[in-house]
Amino acid sequence: TSPTGYLMILLRKPLVEKLRRERINTCIEQLKSLLGPEFLKQQPDSKLEKADILEMTVCFLTQLQQQRNLLTHCNKLQTASDEKLKEADFSPLSSTVQNMITKNKCPINSALWRPW
């Protein structure tokens, strides 16, 4: 590497680092605004540090993931329950009712008794 190339690298490094820090700070500010007031109320009198915002974000995402997992589990249970209901064999009940109708033991085919 020539001395001029080395000098360019030395001059470029602080600029790259500055841009990296700006990206981090911008993202932290975006996270802070996304967290909402309920999370930010946890420390109302103190200035939130970047680490605080990151910890609150992790907490929020963890809660969100737990809720999603719970909903997924409930949906799976509901689907399994629905499938079992569809697969249930109601034929014994149906055959019993059918036998009652064919043997005239069911009031549908018998004459109605009316007291008047």
The pLDDT tens digits of the residues spanning 12-50 come to 888 889 999 999 999 999 998 888 776 667 655 667 899
For 31, counting Cβ atoms within 10 Å of its Cβ (0-12 exposed, 13-18 middle, 19+ buried), the class is middle
Query: What pLDDT does residue 30 have?
Result: 93
Query: What pLDDT does residue 106 have?
Result: 46
* Alpha-carbon 64 to chain mean position: 6
Considering the four listed CATH numbers 1.10.3470, 3.40.50, 1.10.10, 4.10.280, the one that applies to the domain covering 3-79 is 4.10.280
Whole-model pTM: value is 0.55
**In this predicted structure, which of 23-27, 32-36, 85-89, 104-108 has the lowest mean pLDDT?**
104-108
Question: At residue 108, does pLDDT exceed 50?
Answer: no
Query: What pLDDT does residue 14 have?
Result: 85
The three-point CA angle 104-105-111 to 5° equals 65
Helix (H, G, I), strand (E, B) or coil at 72: helix
- Mean pLDDT (the chain) is 75
- Average pLDDT for 67-92: 77
Question: At residue 114, does pLDDT exceed 60?
Answer: no
Dihedral sign from CA coordinates of 49, 53, 59, 62: negative
